[in-house]
């Protein structure tokens, strides 16, 4: 075997240290040529290192295989969490050519859980949630009189796509939700459960490998229908939006 060291052109090397660069460009070559035993010894040392390395590699093939563990992902896998925040449910009630909005801002609480996959630079996931939206709002309508309306709960499923940046992940979401809605007027109560779309966005932060916190905004439809209330026709259209702070643990 011919060592590449023997063919190395030492003329390209320059002296380093405290001296000025380029003062003695051939000094190392002169030393090597004047000490004729140095080159063979260096070549032997290089060969020795190669032989020892080859022997060690050969011994490793007969030992127990060692597998390097993959680093744990911050985002992939299942997770469960709790959330709390502020919810606003707005119901537009139209009757007799008159329209009025009934809005209620309330505390909201919920649970959520899902599963994430890392695909290239993105995180794709599915998530389910159940949320308490608040109580009913009371007011007066120009033609219906005393009205009580609102939505108390929502259960949904959505898909998420996120873009991790270190331990931060902004994301978008979209899915469907089932929510209840109540409208009481003229001595009649109309209670319904409808399925509607939901869209949202948020920012999730991996505080540790297992614990994550997030701020999540959701906008969803609730109901859009017509009914009679004590012989008076009325149309209701309702929606909800909320901002929730969540804490989750991945597994």
Count CB neighbours of 192 within 10 A: 15
Q: Distance between CA atoms of 251 and 211, rounded to whole angstroms?
A: 10
| Interval 176-224: pLDDT, tens | 999 999 999 999 999 999 999 999 999 999 999 999 999 999 999 999 9
Residue 225 pLDDT > 90, yes or no? yes
Q: Is 19 exposed, middle or buried (0-12, 13-18, 19+ CB in 10 A)?
A: exposed
Residue 21 pLDDT greater than 80, yes or no:
no
Give the per-residue pLDDT at 229.
93
Strand duo 153-162 + 211-229: pairing:
unpaired
Whether the pLDDT of residue 5 is over 50: the answer is no
Q: In which band, very low, low, confident or very high, does the pLDDT at 45 lie, cut at 50, 70 and 90? A: low
What is the residue-averaged pLDDT of the chain?
82
Assess whether pLDDT exceeds 90 at residue 158: yes
Query: For residues 114 and 101, what is the distance between their CA atoms, to the nearest angstrom?
Result: 35
Q: What is the mean pLDDT of residues 100-127?
A: 97
94/146 Cα distance (integer angstroms): 14
Average pLDDT over residues 171-175: 98
Looking at per-residue confidence, does 110 or 31 come out higher? 110
- Residue 13's pLDDT is 43
The pLDDT of 100-120, averaged and rounded, is 97
Mean pLDDT, residues 107-127 taken together: 97
| Residue-level pLDDT at 28 | 42
> Looking at residue 73, what is its pLDDT?
79
* Tokens encoding 153: 């709960």
Looking at per-residue pLDDT, the higher value among 112 and 65 belongs to 112
Amino acid 2: pLDDT? 44
Q: Say which residue the tokens 């537009």 belong to.
A: 92
- Residue range 16-30: mean pLDDT, rounded: 44
């Amino acid at each position: 075997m011919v060592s590449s060291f023997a063919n190395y052109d030492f003329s390209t090397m320059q002296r380093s240290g405290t001296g000025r660069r380029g003062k003695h460009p051939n000094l190392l070559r002169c030393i090597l040529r004047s000490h004729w035993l140095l080159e063979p010894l260096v070549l032997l040392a290089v060969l020795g290192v190669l032989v020892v390395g080859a022997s060690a590699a050969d011994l490793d093939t007969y030992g127990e295989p060692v597998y390097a563990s993959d680093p744990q992902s911050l985002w992939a896998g299942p997770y469960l969490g709790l959330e709390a925040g502020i919810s606003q449910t707005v119901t537009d009630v139209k009757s007799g050519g008159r329209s009025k909005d009934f809005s209620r801002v309330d505390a909201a609480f919920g649970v959520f859980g899902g599963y994430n996959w890392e695909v290239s630079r993105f995180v794709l996931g599915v998530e389910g949630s159940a949320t308490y939206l608040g109580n009913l709002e009371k007011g007066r309508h120009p033609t219906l009189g005393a009205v009580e309306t609102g939505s108390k709960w929502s259960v949904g499923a959505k898909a998420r796509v996120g873009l991790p940046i270190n331990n931060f992940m902004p994301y978008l979401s979209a899915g469907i939700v089932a929510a209840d809605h109540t409208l009481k007027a003229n001595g009649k109560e109309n209670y319904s459960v409808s399925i509607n779309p939901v869209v949202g966005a948020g920012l999730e932060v991996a505080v540790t490998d297992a614990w994550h916190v997030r701020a999540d905004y959701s906008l969803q439809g609730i109901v859009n229908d017509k009914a009679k209330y004590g012989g008076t026709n009325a149309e209701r259209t309702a929606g909800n939006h909320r901002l929730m702070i969540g804490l989750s643990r991945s597994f």
